[in-house]
C-alpha cells in the first residue's frame, strides 16, 4: 500500500475515534452535581470551639529531607554560579527590569505591583568582597557559597521566629481545634448564622508572630506556572492588589506573571516545585495558634493523599522594607506574620490541588480601601463563595474525617467564614499589635503538603 494512502486511512481512524469520545464527555458533564450552598456566618461574627484536639508542638512535626521532597527543576551549576555573583545579579536585574517594562501594560511586575524596576540584591558582604578582590586584582566570585551548597547539599528550608507576642497570652493554653466540633455545636444550638459566645475569643488577635523563612532553591530565570480560577474582566487595570503574594514566588527565582485585563477568584501555582514549599506548609501548621482540620493535619502521619493549609497571613521583605533584599542568591528570604486571632484550616486534597494558591483580596481591601471586584469593592460574602467553590473542586472527600464527611459542605463553609471573620476582626485590634503588618501584603494564602 502506498505511504500516502496509509497516512490518509490513519487520519480517518483518528477522526472517528474523537467523534465517538465527544458524546461520552458531554454525558459526563450532564451528570455533574449542582453547586452546593455553603454555610456562612455574618461577616461581623466570630466563632471557636470549646473541645480541643490533642495539642501538637512544632518539634513534633516532620520537615522533609531533600530525598523526600525533591525539586521539580534545577538550573545548571555553572549558570547559578555565574548568575549569583554580584556582577551576575546586577546584569539579571537589568534584564528583568527591561522585560518587566515591556510587559507592564499587560501584566503586573514580578513583585506584584506597578513598579517595573527590579533592583539587584546587594548585601553588606558584597561591598567588602568587591573592595578586597578589586584591591588584589582577583575576580569577584561571591556566588561560591551557592556553588558549594549545590555540590554538597543543604537543607531546603530554614526558619526562625524573629519576634513574637507570646507573652501576651501566657497562662492560656494554645490548642489545636477540631472544626467538626464547631459545626456540631452550632447545629445543635441552631446557631448556623450566629456566633456562639465562647467562639468570639478565638479570633481576637492579641499578638503577631513574625517568622523569618528561607526558601532554598537551585533555580535561575525560571517562569512560574500560574493559572487562575474564576476569571472575569477587571474594572481597574491599574489595580495591583491581586498580586500581593507574588514576592513568595519571585524571591525564590520563580517569576510570576499576573495579567491586568482579568481579575480572578484564586491564583494557582503549579511549578516548578521546590522542597521548601512543603516544609513551609509544615512550619505554618506547627506555628498556627488555632488549627481547624477536616483530616489529620500532622505531616508525620500518612493519610494517602496530600493536604492543604489555608490561612490568613501577611508577608514583608527581609530587610529595609525593600523586596530586593528578599531575593538572595540561592535562597528567597521573607518574613511571614502569623496572627493568633486568624485560625488556619487543613483539608485533604486531590492531585488537582496546586502547590501554592492565594485569594486576590487583601486586608487593605477588606477595610474598604481597595478597588475592583464585581461590585466595584470588597464583599465578604463574595470572597467566601469564591474560596469555598474552589476548595470544593480540590477537596478529597473520601479522606475527610468520618465524623463530618456527610456534611462537609457545612463544615467547609463555616470554617472559611471563621478565617474571613478573623481577618475582618482586625479592625478592632490595637494598631501597635499590627505595626509590622502591611495591609496591602496580607490575605488568604494556601500551601499544599
pLDDT in tens, 276-306: 999 999 999 999 998 989 999 999 999 999 9
- Better pLDDT: 441 or 163: 441
Question: What is the domain partition of the chain in residue ranges?
Answer: 58-75+156-448
Find, among 70, 63, 94, 126, the residue nearest to 329 by Cα: 126
pLDDT band at 433 (very low <50, low <70, confident <90, very high): very high
What is the pLDDT of the chain when averaged over all its residues?
A: 74
Whether omega for the bond prior to residue 92 falls within 30 degrees of 0, making it cis, is no
Q: Please list, in sequence order, all residues whose beta carbon lies within 8 angstroms of the beta carbon of residue 139, skipping any fewer than 6 positions away.
A: 133
pTM beyond 0.75: the answer is no
For residue 3, how many C-alpha atoms fall within 13 Å in the half-sphere facing its CB? 0
* pLDDT 10s digits, 383-407: 999 999 999 999 999 999 998 899 8
| Beta-strand runs (E) in 164-248 | 208-216, 222-223, 226-229, 232-233
- Burial of 243 per CB tally in 10 Å (0-12, 13-18, 19+): buried
Contact 216, 157 (CB under 8 A): yes
CA–CA separation, 182 and 49 (whole Å): 5
Confidence class for position 53, pLDDT limits 50, 70, 90: very low
**Nearest Cα to 443, choosing from 349, 334, 310?**
310
Convert 431-444 to b/e letters by CB count within 10 Å (16 or more is b).
eebbeebbbbbbbb
So what's the pLDDT on residue 182? 52
Q: Is the pLDDT of residue 255 over 60?
A: yes
Reduce the DSSP state of residue 223 to 3 states and report it.
strand
Give buried/exposed letters for 299-333 (b at 16+ CB in 10 A, else e). Answer: beeeeeebbbbbbbbbbbbbeeeebbbbbbbbbbb
Give me the residue label for grid cell 485590634. Answer: 429
pLDDT for 117 beyond 80: no
What is the number of other CB atoms lying within 10 angstroms of the CB of residue 90? 14
Give the pLDDT band of residue 44 (cuts 50, 70, 90): very low
Residue 235 has pLDDT above 50, yes or no: yes
Q: Give the Å distances, CA to CA, from 161 to 132, 254, 335.
A: 34, 25, 9
Please check the confidence at residue 146 and state whether its pLDDT lies above 70. no
List the beta strands (DSSP E) in 350-409. 356-362
Instruction: Assign 212 a pLDDT band (cuts: 50, 70, 90).
Output: very high
pLDDT classification of 201: cutoffs 50, 70, 90:
confident
Percentage of residues of the chain with pLDDT beyond 70: 59
| 103 against 315, higher pLDDT | 315
Those residues with Cβ within 8 angstroms of residue 75's Cβ, 6 or more apart along the chain or in another chain = 83, 218, 219, 220, 221, 222
- For residue 339, the cross-strand partners are 208
Mean pLDDT, range 124-134, rounded to an integer: 46
- Asked if residues 394 and 357 have their Cβ atoms less than 8 Å apart, the reply is no
- Do 310 and 419 touch, CB atoms closer than 8 A? yes
Average pLDDT on 169-180 reads 37
Task: Enumerate residues 6+ apart whose C-beta is below 8 A from 13.
Answer: none
End-to-end, the C-alpha distance of the chain in Å comes to 55
**Higher pLDDT among residues 266 and 95, named by residue:** 266
pLDDT of residue 71: 61
Residue 393: predicted pLDDT: 97
b (16+ CB within 10 A) / e for 222-241: bebbbebbeeeebeeeebbb
Residue 320 confidence class, pLDDT cut points 50, 70, 90: confident
Mean pLDDT of 223-228: 96
Amino acid at each position: 500500500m502506498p505511504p500516502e494512502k496509509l497516512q490518509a486511512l490513519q487520519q480517518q481512524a483518528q477522526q472517528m475515534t474523537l467523534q465517538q469520545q465527544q458524546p461520552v464527555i458531554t454525558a459526563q458533564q450532564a451528570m455533574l452535581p449542582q453547586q452546593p450552598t455553603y454555610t456562612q456566618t455574618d461577616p461581623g461574627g466570630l466563632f471557636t470551639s470549646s473541645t480541643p484536639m490533642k495539642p501538637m508542638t512544632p518539634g513534633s512535626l516532620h520537615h522533609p529531607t531533600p530525598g523526600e521532597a525533591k525539586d521539580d527543576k534545577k538550573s545548571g551549576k555553572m549558570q547559578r554560579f555565574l548568575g549569583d555573583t554580584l556582577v551576575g545579579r546586577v546584569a539579571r536585574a537589568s534584564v528583568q527590569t527591561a522585560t518587566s517594562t515591556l510587559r507592564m501594560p499587560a501584566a503586573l511586575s514580578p513583585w506584584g505591583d506597578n513598579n517595573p524596576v527590579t533592583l539587584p540584591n546587594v548585601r553588606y558582604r558584597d561591598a567588602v568582597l568587591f573592595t578586597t578582590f578589586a584591591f588584589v586584582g582577583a575576580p569577584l566570585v561571591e556566588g561560591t557559597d551557592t556553588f558549594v551548597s549545590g555540590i554538597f547539599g543543604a537543607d531546603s528550608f530554614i526558619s526562625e521566629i524573629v519576634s513574637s507576642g507570646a507573652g501576651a497570652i501566657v497562662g492560656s493554653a494554645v490548642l489545636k481545634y477540631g472544626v467538626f466540633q464547631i459545626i456540631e455545636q452550632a447545629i445543635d444550638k441552631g446557631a448556623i448564622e450566629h456566633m456562639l459566645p465562647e467562639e468570639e475569643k478565638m479570633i481576637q488577635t492579641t499578638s503577631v508572630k513574625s517568622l523569618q523563612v528561607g526558601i532554598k532553591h537551585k533555580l535561575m530565570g525560571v517562569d512560574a506556572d500560574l493559572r487562575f480560577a474564576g476569571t472575569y474582566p477587571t474594572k481597574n487595570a491599574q489595580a495591583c492588589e491581586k498580586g500581593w503574594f507574588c514576592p513568595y514566588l519571585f524571591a525564590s527565582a520563580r517569576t510570576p506573571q499576573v495579567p491586568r485585563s482579568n481579575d480572578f477568584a484564586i491564583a494557582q501555582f503549579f511549578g516548578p516545585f521546590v522542597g521548601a514549599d512543603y516544609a513551609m506548609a509544615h512550619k505554618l501548621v506547627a506555628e498556627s495558634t488555632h488549627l481547624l482540620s477536616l483530616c489529620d493535619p500532622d505531616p508525620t502521619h500518612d493519610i494517602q493523599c496530600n493536604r492543604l493549609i489555608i490561612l490568613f497571613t501577611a508577608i514583608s521583605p527581609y530587610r529595609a522594607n525593600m523586596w530586593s533584599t528578599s531575593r538572595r542568591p540561592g535562597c528567597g528570604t521573607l518574613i511571614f506574620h502569623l496572627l493568633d486571632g486568624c485560625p488556619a484550616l487543613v483539608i485533604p486534597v486531590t492531585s488537582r490541588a496546586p502547590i501554592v494558591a492565594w485569594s486576590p483580596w487583601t486586608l487593605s481591601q477588606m477595610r474598604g480601601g481597595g478597588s475592583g471586584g464585581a461590585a466595584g469593592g470588597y464583599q465578604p460574602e463574595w470572597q467566601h463563595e469564591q474560596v469555598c467553590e474552589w476548595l470544593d473542586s480540590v477537596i478529597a472527600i473520601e479522606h475527610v474525617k468520618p465524623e463530618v464527611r456527610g456534611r462537609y459542605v457545612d463544615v467547609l463553609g463555616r470554617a472559611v467564614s471563621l478565617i474571613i471573620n478573623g481577618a475582618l476582626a482586625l479592625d478592632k485590634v490595637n494598631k501597635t499589635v499590627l505595626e509590622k503588618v502591611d495591609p496591602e501584603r496580607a490575605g488568604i494564602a494556601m500551601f499544599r503538603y
